[in-house]
Amino acid sequence: KSDEMVDRFFAAQAMASLACHRHKGIMTAIANSGAVAGLVSLIGFVDSDMSNIISLIEEFSLVRHPKQVVLEHLFQLEEVRLGSTARKAIPLLVDLPRPMPERPAAPPIAVRLLTQVADGSDANKLIMAETGALEALPKYLSLSPQDIT
- Give me the tens of pLDDT residue by residue for the chain, a chain 149 residues long: 567 877 888 899 999 999 999 899 999 999 999 999 999 988 987 655 566 778 888 888 999 889 999 999 999 999 999 999 999 999 999 999 887 888 888 989 999 999 999 999 999 999 999 999 988 878 777 766 666 55
User: For residue 55, which amino acid is it?
Assistant: S
pTM for the full predicted model: 0.85
List the chain domain ranges: 2-148
∠ at Cα 109 (107, 113), nearest 5°?
A: 115
Q: What is the distance between the alpha carbons of residues 69 and 76, in angstroms, rounded to a whole number?
A: 11
Taking 3-state DSSP, the helix, strand and coil percentages for the chain, each rounded to the nearest 5, stand at 70, 0, 30
